[in-house]
Amino acid sequence: MTAIIVFCVLSVLLVTGKVLRVFIPVLQRCYLPSSVIGGAVGLVIFQCFPEFLPAECIAAVGKIPGFMINVVFATLFLGVVTPPLKKVFQVAFPQLCFGQILAWGQYVIGFALVGFVLIPLFGVNPGFGNLLEIGFQGGHGTVSGMAESFRSFNWEDGIALGYTVATAGMLVGVMIGVLLVNWAGRKGYVKNIRRFDDQNQLQQRGIYHHEERPIAGWQTVYCDSIDSLAWHISLVGIAILIGFAIQKGLQVAEVKCFPDSALRIFKGFPLFPFCMIGGLLIQKVAQGCRFNSLIDHGQMQRLAGAALDFLVVAAMATIKLSVVLQNWQGLIILIVLGTVFAIFMVVVVAPKLFKESWFECAIADFGQATGVTATGLLLLRAVDPESKTCAAQAFGYKQLLHEPVMGGGLWTALALTLLYKLGWQTMLIISGSMLAVWIVIAVIVCRKR
């Protein structure tokens, strides 16, 4: 019964979010996703009317994001035939430099701010230093996937704070991103910009005209053998199972190989990066056995999109406002500095780094580095709706190299464990060194161009 109630409540919140977005123009102009609007409605209801749902149901809603993020990451490479690595580097290397500088810079800002300001002034938990990259780059999904890691280090408040940073990052990515798009249009940096007022009423409301509806994915198997959607969901389940096996195997191997060590890297390591590896392994086997045509990435994208919508609405609805209010000073400082740094990267660094279409390339990464990949794609479509520049291809190829490491990748998952084992000073040195390396590489790229 609890599962039924949770599913129905989240469905009502998502539909409510969509209805509000359709009929409230200001929400349309802010490009706020329905999941964020519905999550905000749920947060108000759960906080003001705690008797609305039984305690066990609210607890179950809080567990939804931790599961859904595994689905999102398992689908990343399923159905994607990756191009040769050489071509990926040729097209996406400047974009990769930009993304890596953004990500490592967020770590440097977080650790320096925590060590030199927030701990002395407010006594915050050292894990505060990871929140900027986890929340801005990874978003609600990554925070959800890191939930057990936060709990394993006795800092469950980090979950609510992470959701708050992720929500703020999404708002920053969309609202500041739109302002930057309009600024670039006035300056003449972009030629193909599509402003909000240029869209028809259906487009503003986020509804396709019935004659323009795109294909949501191809059916690859006959339904009399197995439903195509069931087939793709099953592949996602197998990818998660492979990820779970890898996670448990590494935990057992670590104990057996280092029985006396106090450092346990994989004890609090989240599952979702291994689900991504599981999906990649399935895709490689499918390509090797020549049945990769049975896996359609369009259907995988729809599964990931649905999982992400339910994830965000559940995550926002269950934010603990009491924890946020206790840490509001540190959160504001962290979010403001992270936003200023991202704007600086777009306005100052991007024109020097990219040879062509610098703003289109930069705004996609700005959106991804503040409000996850979907925000980056939304802003990119605003300045390059017909993909006339190289930005869309460069951004897509860059994600193949960037996502497995940062923004919810292996380093994002590992960094929290290393922080509690090595301390913020060591993590600041590591992050600062990596930031310096990517800056040097970017300077070399700029000089060659």
User: What does the block give as tokens for 5?
Assistant: 């109630």
Picking from 77, 412, 404, the residue whose alpha carbon sits closest to that of residue 235 is 77
Task: Give the separation between CA 113 and CA 118, rounded to whole angstroms.
Answer: 6
Q: Is residue 276 part of a domain?
A: yes
Q: Is residue 211 part of a domain?
A: no
For residue 263, the model assigns a pLDDT of 64
Instruction: Render pLDDT for 96-150 as a digit per residue (tens, 0 to 9).
Output: 999 999 999 999 999 999 999 999 999 999 999 999 999 998 888 888 888 888 9
Q: Is residue 215 part of a domain?
A: no
For residue 13, the model assigns a pLDDT of 94
For residue 409, the model assigns a pLDDT of 77
Q: Is residue 231 part of a domain?
A: yes
Task: Give the separation between CA 361 and CA 350, rounded to whole angstroms.
Answer: 8
DSSP secondary structure letter of residue 262: S
Instruction: Render pLDDT for 359-383 as a digit per residue (tens, 0 to 9).
Output: 999 998 998 888 777 788 778 887 8
Q: Is residue 216 part of a domain?
A: no
Instruction: Render pLDDT for 316-360 as a digit per residue (tens, 0 to 9).
Output: 888 888 888 899 999 999 999 999 999 999 999 999 888 888 999
The answer to whether residue 202 scores a pLDDT higher than 90 is: no
The answer to whether residue 389 scores a pLDDT higher than 90 is: no
Of 395 and 71, more confident = 71
Picking from 137, 95, 133, the residue whose alpha carbon sits closest to that of residue 114 is 133
Of 176 and 448, more confident = 176
DSSP string for residues in 89-124: HHHHHHHHHHHHHHHHHHHHHHHHHIIIIIHHHH--
Picking from 425, 434, 336, the residue whose alpha carbon sits closest to that of residue 119 is 425
Task: Give the separation between CA 36 and CA 58, rounded to whole angstroms.
Answer: 18
Length reported for the chain: 449
The answer to whether residue 18 scores a pLDDT higher than 90 is: yes
For residue 444, the model assigns a pLDDT of 86
For residue 449, the model assigns a pLDDT of 62
In angstroms, the Cα distances linking 31 to 35, 116, 155, 310, 341 are 12, 36, 33, 18, 22
Give the three-state DSSP class for 273. Answer: helix
The answer to whether residue 387 scores a pLDDT higher than 80 is: no
For residue 249, the model assigns a pLDDT of 93
Q: Is residue 220 part of a domain?
A: no
Q: How confident is the model at residue 385 (pLDDT cuts 50, 70, 90)?
A: confident
Indicate the pTM of the whole model.
0.84
Instruction: Render pLDDT for 284-319 as a digit per residue (tens, 0 to 9).
Output: 999 988 888 899 989 998 998 899 889 889 988 888
Q: Is residue 386 part of a domain?
A: yes
Q: Is 207 left (phi over 0), alpha (psi -120 to 50) or beta?
A: beta
The answer to whether residue 175 scores a pLDDT higher than 80 is: yes
Host H or E run for residue 200: none
Q: Select, from the ranges 34-43, 234-243, 279-288, the one with the highest average predicted confidence (pLDDT).
A: 234-243
Number of domains the chain contains? 1
User: What does the block give as tokens for 72?
Assistant: 């999102």
For residue 396, the model assigns a pLDDT of 80
Q: Is residue 217 part of a domain?
A: no
User: What does the block give as tokens for 355?
Assistant: 């040879």
What average pLDDT does the segment 268-284 reach? Answer: 87
Domain that holds residue 84: 2-205+225-448
